[in-house]
């Protein structure tokens, strides 16, 4: 009996089945997914997905930042790869393999002289061993030949697995879907039976009205909490039309059309197009893989050259000149003092020609060399891993500083030292007493400060004492200041008495104006190019101006030019004008052909005339044309009617005969032509006109369609605005009618209001008088009542009642 052990290397077919199964069943039903794969368990399927097939897995090369983060997190959380992986953005297996590789590289660098097996050799599988982690390895490719009668034969179990997976994954109708379909069929059968029953009873004369169950509001027919809009002066017809259109719009429409295409369908369609295009390109031999195209584009990409931005100058030309003059003055004064004998003033002047401190090289020091922080941390981690227990003892060789400040190490920016900065004045300065019993600090070796050190007289150098510095306490600082003052007083007391004889020597004034005579300034190439371009443009404009008027104005020009025929009575001037006209036309046909016209063969060049000669000829032509205009205007005014008659007669007597096979046509007299020739000429003219009409119609149709596309939105907008304008004008007219009605009503009211007011006033007066009378009568009756009551009381008092 054969025992099947699940596991082993993953195949390409198994990967594809797993991906499709995850798309169908999700990432929680691993037992159902593993039932499609006979050689894999649910745990192995889950590990394969989360270690290799998940699209979110990053499989690119490790960057230096990721390596640094991995090493620091491994230092903070040793062996906790499932916790480290989400922080780094990789899988736990990738983090472990990368960590082991970094340690192997550090070990290989330490033991370069020793010949031993590397980490890859140790971890490489031997023949017969089983890969303990096949889920994180690439899939084994499928056999080349998938047929049974080929060299690569697929086992029967794998064929059964593929067929079962294909059938199960293709089955989208599960138990619930089948039950829903069955219930739908039963409901449709009940509806058809009820409909047949009603039809039979109606045919028998029994009409049964279907009573609809009302279990509340019909939300399809009524609108809950709907309030009718109050009637007013505004028009709501457009709102009603919009509501009716919205009600009629989606009726009978498919849900698929309303929702549109799904994203999955669109992507599938695009994938098919890409596959078809790639297949076509492969057949033509033009297909380039996307990875190669991206690599080629990245290789050919060139970064744009940035513009050089320099800071503004700190010192101007005037300041530089003043500094140079001060230097000349100082050198002159020092030369005068040096020429005399030993004088007290010689000690006050020193040589300031050199600005740099002694011992500083002109060469810019380079930045100090630093080691690779990444490899240093890897070596430290390997040393900590291989360290012995405290019982065995032994030191751990740690390089640098092992800190836990952050997940990524701090970066320090290296700055190039500046040799022109002043060294900080400290221990080791010239002319100082060294400290006693203390470690000296940096002296001239430090390149920090503000200005170049020029202190030969020791003015800026703090004085020291034999006992050491006076910088430790405030009291010592005060003592040092007092000592400096005392020393200065002693030095000033030792100075000799001043002398009143002195000599002033003025420096020779140099002529600051440079000699310009005889000097030649080299022009910039950009200026030379610009001048050449301007000269070329001026020459080109002059050449264009020398063209004939027909070419300048874009007038039609003949493509066939015949030699001029001399007529009787022509003089020499007329003949020369005709010949020059023919030469001009041939020159234009050769050098400036009309659009759509082939250049004329041959070489016809005109005489090179200057602009002054052309201007003079133009003036003569203008003068002659002015004379001819006067004569022609007189002739036209006198013989206008005769000219029209002759023109009509010539037009009626001649007909244009079109040439055949591309030959030019000509005008012929009707008297020289037969009837068949006239009919043929008219027919050819008619056919030519029809062809012209067809071409113009096609061109007009094309332009109309193009303008319809370009101006369609504007036309629609114009129609909408026209409609809005009509509605607005209608509202304006209705408002005007209402305004006139109310104005008329106002006038009528103003006319009838005084009469009504007078009538109401009279009625009010009558009512007021009536009320006054009634009040007086009421008062009298009230007094009479009181009188009667008083009498009754008197009678009661006397006992008469």
pLDDT at res. 263? 84
pLDDT at res. 358? 47
pLDDT at res. 253? 67
- Region 624-634: mean pLDDT is 77
pTM above 0.75, yes or no: no
Which pair of structure tokens corresponds to residue 208? 């049964």
pLDDT at res. 774? 94
pLDDT at res. 99? 93
Report how far residue 606's alpha carbon sits from residue 384's, in angstroms, rounded to the nearest whole number. Answer: 97
pLDDT at res. 765? 94
288 pLDDT more than 50? yes
**Residue-wise pLDDT tens digits, 695-713:** 999 999 999 888 888 888 8
Region of poorest pLDDT, from 390-394, 676-680, 763-767: 390-394
Bridge partners (DSSP) of residue 140 are: 11
- Region 519-544: mean pLDDT is 81
**Residue-wise pLDDT tens digits, 328-338:** 777 777 777 67
Which pair of structure tokens corresponds to residue 354? 């050199």
237 pLDDT more than 70? yes
pLDDT at res. 46? 95
pLDDT at res. 449? 42
**Residue-wise pLDDT tens digits, 594-625:** 776 777 776 667 777 777 888 888 888 888 88
Q: Which residues contact 454 (CB under 8 A, 6 or more apart)?
A: 350, 352, 355
**Residue-wise pLDDT tens digits, 361-415:** 445 556 556 667 777 778 787 777 777 666 666 666 777 666 555 445 555 555 5
148 pLDDT more than 60? no
Which pair of structure tokens corresponds to residue 175? 């138990």
pLDDT at res. 425? 44
pLDDT at res. 595? 73
Report how far residue 227's alpha carbon sits from residue 99's, in angstroms, rounded to the nearest whole number. Answer: 73
What mean pLDDT value characterizes the chain?
Answer: 76
Most confident option among 310-314, 375-379, 528-532: 528-532
**Residue-wise pLDDT tens digits, 538-555:** 888 887 777 777 788 777
| Rounded alpha-carbon distances, angstroms, from residue 504 to 328, 329, 332 | 15, 12, 11
- Region 643-670: mean pLDDT is 77
3-state secondary structure of 418: coil
Q: pLDDT higher for 15 or 322?
A: 15
Render 157-220 in DSSP notation, one character per residue: HHHHHHHHHHHHHH----HHHHHHHHHHHHHHHHHHHHHHHHHHHHHTT---PPPPP--S--TT
Q: Give the residue carrying structure tokens 């510095």.
A: 469
Phi-psi region of 569 (alpha: psi -120 to 50; beta: other; left: phi over 0): left
433 pLDDT more than 50? no
**Residue-wise pLDDT tens digits, 221-235:** 888 888 887 776 777
Q: pLDDT higher for 9 or 428?
A: 9
**Residue-wise pLDDT tens digits, 157-177:** 677 788 888 888 877 667 777
304 pLDDT more than 60? no
**Percentage with pLDDT > 90 across the chain:** 20
pLDDT at res. 412? 53
pLDDT at res. 328? 77
**Percentage with pLDDT > 70 across the chain:** 70
- Region 173-195: mean pLDDT is 84
Whether the CB-CB separation of 111 and 119 falls below 8 Å is answered with no
pLDDT at res. 334? 74
Region of poorest pLDDT, from 78-87, 273-282, 563-572, 574-583: 563-572
pLDDT at res. 428? 42
94 pLDDT more than 90? yes
pLDDT at res. 466? 42
pLDDT at res. 555? 78
pLDDT at res. 370? 62
- Region 10-28: mean pLDDT is 91
Region of poorest pLDDT, from 23-32, 412-421, 504-513, 734-743: 412-421
- Region 62-78: mean pLDDT is 92
Report how far residue 453's alpha carbon sits from residue 354's, in angstroms, rounded to the nearest whole number. Answer: 10
729 — pLDDT class (breaks 50, 70, 90): very high
63 pLDDT more than 70? yes
Most confident option among 390-399, 431-440, 726-735: 726-735
Report how far residue 89's alpha carbon sits from residue 63's, in angstroms, rounded to the nearest whole number. Answer: 12
pLDDT at res. 27? 92
249 — pLDDT class (breaks 50, 70, 90): low
The upper half-sphere exposure of residue 432, i.e. CA atoms within 13 Å in the direction of its Cβ, equals 22
pLDDT at res. 426? 43
pLDDT at res. 416? 53
For the chain, the structural domain boundaries read: 12-172, 464-491
273 pLDDT more than 70? yes
192 — pLDDT class (breaks 50, 70, 90): very high
């Amino acid at each position: 009996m054969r025992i099947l052990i699940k596991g082993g290397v993953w195949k390409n077919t198994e990967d594809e089945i797993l991906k499709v199964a995850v798309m169908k069943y999700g990432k929680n039903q691993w037992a159902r997914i593993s039932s499609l794969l006979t050689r894999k368990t649910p745990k192995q399927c889950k590990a394969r997905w989360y270690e290799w097939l998940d699209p979110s897995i990053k499989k690119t090369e490790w960057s230096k930042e990721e390596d640094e983060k991995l090493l620091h997190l491994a230092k903070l959380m040793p062996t906790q790869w499932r916790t480290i992986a989400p922080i780094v953005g990789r899988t736990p297996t990738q983090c472990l393999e990368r960590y082991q590789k970094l340690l192997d590289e550090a070990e290989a660098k330490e033991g370069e002289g020793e010949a031993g097996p590397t980490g890859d050799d140790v971890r490489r599988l031997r023949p017969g061993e089983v890969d303990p982690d096949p889920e994180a390895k690439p899939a084994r490719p499928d056999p080349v030949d998938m047929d049974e009668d080929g060299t690569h034969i697929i086992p029967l179990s794998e064929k059964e697995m593929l067929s079962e997976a294909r059938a199960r994954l293709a089955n989208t109708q599960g138990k619930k879907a089948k039950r829903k379909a069955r219930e739908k069929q039963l409901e449709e059968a009940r509806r058809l039976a009820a409909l047949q029953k009603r039809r039979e009873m109606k045919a028998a004369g029994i009409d049964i009205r279907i009573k609809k169950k009302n279990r509340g509001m019909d939300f399809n027919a009524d609108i809950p909490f709907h309030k009718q809009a109050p009637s007013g002066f505004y028009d709501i017809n457009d709102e009603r039309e919009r509501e009716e259109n919205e009600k009629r719009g989606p009726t009978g429409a498919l849900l698929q059309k309303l929702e549109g295409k799904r994203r999955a369908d669109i992507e599938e369609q695009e994938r098919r197009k890409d596959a078809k295009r790639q297949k076509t390109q492969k057949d033509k031999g033009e297909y380039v893989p996307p990875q190669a195209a991206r690599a080629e584009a990245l290789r050919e990409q060139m970064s744009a050259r940035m513009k050089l931005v320099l800071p503004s100058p700190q010192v101007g030309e005037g300041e530089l000149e003043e500094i140079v003059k001060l230097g000349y003055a100082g050198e002159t004064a020092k030369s005068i003092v040096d020429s005399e004998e030993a004088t007290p003033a010689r000690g006050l002047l020193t040589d300031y020609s050199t600005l740099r401190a002694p011992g500083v090289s002109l060469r810019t020091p380079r930045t100090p060399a630093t080691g690779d922080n990444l490899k240093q941390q890897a070596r430290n981690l390997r040393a900590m891993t291989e360290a012995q227990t405290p019982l065995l003892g032994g030191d751990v060789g740690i390089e640098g500083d092992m800190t836990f400040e952050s997940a990524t190490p701090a970066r320090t920016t290296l700055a190039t030292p500046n040799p022109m900065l002043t060294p900080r004045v400290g221990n080791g300065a010239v002319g100082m007493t060294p400290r006693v019993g203390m470690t000296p600090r940096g002296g001239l070796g430090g390149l920090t400060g503000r200005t170049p050190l020029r202190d030969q007289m020791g003015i800026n150098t703090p004085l020291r004492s034999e006992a050491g510095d006076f910088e430790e306490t405030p009291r010592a600082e005060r003592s040092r200041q007092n000592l400096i003052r005392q020393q200065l007083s002693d030095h000033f007391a030792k100075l000799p008495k001043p002398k009143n004889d002195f000599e002033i020597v003025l420096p020779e004034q140099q002529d600051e104006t440079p000699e310009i005579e005889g000097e030649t300034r080299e022009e910039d190439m950009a200026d030379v190019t610009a001048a050449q371009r301007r000269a070329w443009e001026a020459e080109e404009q002059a050449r264009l101006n020398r063209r004939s008027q027909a070419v300048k104005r874009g007038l039609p020009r003949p493509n066939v030019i015949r030699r001029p025929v001399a007529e009787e009575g022509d003089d020499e001037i007329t003949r020369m004008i005709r010949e020059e006209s023919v030469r001009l036309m041939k020159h234009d046909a050769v050098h400036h052909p009309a659009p759509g016209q082939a250049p004329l063969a041959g070489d016809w060049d005109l005489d090179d005339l200057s602009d002054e000669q052309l201007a003079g000829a133009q003036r003569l032509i203008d003068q002659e044309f002015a004379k001819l205009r006067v004569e022609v205007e007189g002739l036209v005014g006198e013989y206008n009617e005769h000219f029209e008659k002759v023109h009509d007669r010539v037009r009626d007597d001649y007909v244009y005969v079109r040439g055949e096979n591309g030959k030019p046509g000509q005008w012929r007299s009707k008297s020289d032509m037969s009837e068949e020739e006239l009919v043929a000429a008219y027919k050819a003219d008619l056919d030519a006109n029809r062809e012209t009409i067809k071409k113009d119609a096609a061109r007009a149709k094309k332009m109309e369609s193009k303008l319809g596309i370009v101006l369609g939105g504007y036309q629609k907008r114009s129609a909408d605005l026209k409609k809005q304008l009509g509605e607005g004008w209608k509202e304006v007219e209705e408002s005007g009618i209402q305004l006139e009605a109310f104005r008329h009503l106002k006038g009528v009211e103003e006319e009838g209001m005084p009469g009504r007011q007078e009538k109401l006033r009279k009625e009010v007066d009558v009512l007021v008088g009536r009320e006054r009378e009634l009040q007086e009568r009421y008062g009298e009756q009230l007094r009479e009542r009181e009188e009667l009551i008083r009498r009754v009381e008197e009678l009661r008092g006397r006992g008469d009642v």
